[in-house]
Structure 1
Amino acid sequence: MEGPVSEQPNSVPRRRFIGLGLGAAALAACSAPPETRPTPPVPTSASSTTTLPPSSTLSSAAKPAGGPATELVRAASGRPEVALTFHGAGDVGIARQVLAALAQHNAHVTVLAVGTWLQDSPDAARMVLDGGHELGNHTWSHPNLSTYKPEPMLAEIERCRDRLVQLTGSPGAFFRQSQGQHANAEELREAGKAGYANVLSYDIDSLDWRDPGAAAIRKAVTAATAGSVVSMHLGHPGTVAALPGILTDLANRGLTPVTASKLMG
């Protein structure tokens, strides 16, 4: 980790993607030294993070239209399932390799797509859906969303939502905040305004965005238990190398990778 960062227990720091505007550019590490991070154009004062209990499940039926979204962190059904969730950005060729590895193991996942990735690689959304996976919204440009004021925060969510609708006819199953493991209260409010009943956070970070090597990524995912939501990335070669071992480990432990909608349903 680059310099001192204040963290909550079992959380990870806000992170950023590099090079999302380049259609074929690989997804770079999601963190950067503080001095290289761009100043957000519309910062607001710091706000506390609101995290719901791990038992949170899908609750769209009971949620008033436009009300705050519910944060989902992990499932409490007890079923032997986990959700591997992938941040959708980076080299589409690497993404194809990830999807091919998943197909070989008959594993289904959730891809939270960054809008600029969908803009530069319009075939990516169909590629994900054709593999039997599901899509969600991971903001338009992957900023440090928690620093944004409400209006531009909503614009980030809605712009990616609209691109998903344009490409697939659906806004996606979930919204996920960018550069943070958990959503804060404002992010939940703006996601709700954009039409998302649920924000999908996670309890396990594979740390593949650090490019630590396949063995380290595989080891990080061994922390997943029944009901876990695991954060991974499509744009890193180490993720491709780690996936066969990860999927074998899960199978040996009796855990089935499913979409987040199935896990939380």
Structure 2
Amino acid sequence: MPLDRRSALTAAAGVAAGLVGVGACDSPSRPSAARSATPGGGSASPFPSPARSTGAAPGHASLPGEINNAPRDRPDVALTFHGQGDATLARQLLAELERGGARVTVFAVGTWLAEQPAMARRVLDAGHDLGNHTENHRDISRMTPTEAFGEIDACAQRIRKLTGAIGAWFRPSQTQHANALIRAQANRVGYPTCVSYDVDSLDYTDPGSPAVVRTTLSQVRPGSIVSLHFGHRGTVAAIGPILDGLRQRGLHAVTMKELMS
């Protein structure tokens, strides 16, 4: 559900004051089950403050338990990326984004960062956001609370070790929406808000770059959060045309931090 204007204004001061670089994104890697909404998706109220100090941003808890998109009154769009896959393709994609003047959010998988630790600083040093997409990218909606907490916390601590903070955002793996169990465990780790999306590029199905461009631009609106992926050549080829299409509509690609500030 869209974040209403009142929630956005309430959150703005706190978010602008100090969000740590975080990241975006991805639609789930399994086509059907991954995209099905789980119970308790986007309308939940925030959970209480985290039980332990984790480096979450001040004021972040005033946002809803899940964000699908931002208010539609500003010409900003968040391109969010599932951080996994071939590191060479990831670097090529980041270079294309930076040539186009875009800042994005990368939701990194912990095991990927273990294999490619330099990517954490590569993302942040270029002005992008880096966030948590679980340690192993398994279906978190089917986990027990203990298992879900372990998946989120392991990735959070890996990001903290590499960057000094866990980042401000979390995106659940293998499901578009965070149910009540996922939101509760994310909150325990230090993520009061989970990030979903309202535009699924379907790039992980490898339909070819023209299809990725069409699918994305046919759905995107001001305030949209777009799900994209590292590790796919078609996505690299699609980025330039997507950024051109956004510019033609007067839209700017920004980080989640900027979108919600």
Give the match's secondary structure for 1:108: coil
Identity across the alignment (%)? 45
Q: Which has the higher contact order (CA 8 A, sep 6+)?
A: 2
Aligned 8 A contact 1:110 1:259 in 2? yes
Q: What code does the residue aligned with 2:146 have?
A: E
Give the aligned partner of residue 230 of structure 1: 226
Alpha-carbon separation, structure 2, partners of 1:221 and 1:32: 16
Aligned residue type for 1:31: R
Counting only pairs closer than 5 Å after superposition, residues 15-26 of structure 1 correspond to structure 2 as: none
1:151 aligns with 2:146: yes
Counterpart of 1:166 in structure 2 is: 161
TM alignment of 1:34-45, pairs within 5 A? none
What is the aligned residue count?
221
Give the distance between the partners of 2:65 and 2:183, measured in 1 at CA: 7
- Give CA deviations for 1:201-234 in whole Å, capped at 9, x if unaligned: 1011000000000000001111110000000001
Tell me how far apart the structure 2 counterparts of residues 187 and 239 of structure 1 sit (CA, whole Å).
29
Contact 1:69 1:191 in 2 (8 A): no
Query: Displacement, 1:182?
Result: 0.9
> Which among 153, 171, 178 is matched to residue 176 of structure 1?
171
Larger helix percent: 2
Displacement of 1:31 in angstroms is 2.3
Pairing of 1:1-265 with structure 2 (within 5 A) = 30-31=29-30, 48-53=38-43, 63-66=48-51, 70-76=65-71, 78-222=73-217, 223-265=219-261
Give CA deviations for 1:16-49 in whole Å, capped at 9, x if unaligned.
xxxxxxxxxxx9x922799xxxxxxxxxxxx952
**Structure 2 length-normalised TM:** 0.79
Q: For 1:33 and 1:51, how far apart are their aligned partners in 2?
A: 17
C-alpha separation in 2, matches of 1:160 and 1:48: 22
Contact kept, 8 Å, 2:38 with 2:177, in 1: the verdict is no
Conserved 8 A contact 2:201-2:227: yes
The Cα offsets for residues 144-197 of structure 1, whole Å up to 9 and x where unpaired, read as: 110000001100000000000000001012000001111111000000011112
CA positional deviation for 1:69: 7.0
Aligned pair in 2 of structure 1 residues 33, 228: CA closer, same or farther (>3 Å)?
closer
Asked if the contact 1:114/1:141 (under 8 Å) is kept, the reply is yes
Three-state SS of the structure 1 residue aligned to 2:173 is: coil
CA–CA distance in 2 between the matches of 1:166 and 1:173? 15
- Given that 1:69 and 1:188 are in contact with CA atoms closer than 8 Å, whether structure 2 keeps it comes out as no
The unaligned stretches of length 5 or more in structure 2 are 1-25, 52-60
Q: Is the 1:88–1:114 Cα contact (8 Å) retained in structure 2?
A: yes
Change (3 A) 1:170 1:88: same
CA distance in 1 between partners of 2:103 and 2:199 (Å) = 17
RMSD value, Cα: 2.4
Which ranges of structure 1 fall in alignment gaps of 5 or more residues?
Answer: 1-26, 35-46
Give the conservation status (yes or no) of the 8 Å contact 1:69–1:189: no
Corresponding residue for residue 4 of structure 1: none
Q: Report the counterpart of residue 15 of structure 1 in structure 2.
A: none
TM-score (norm 1): 0.78
Letter in 1 for 2:41: T
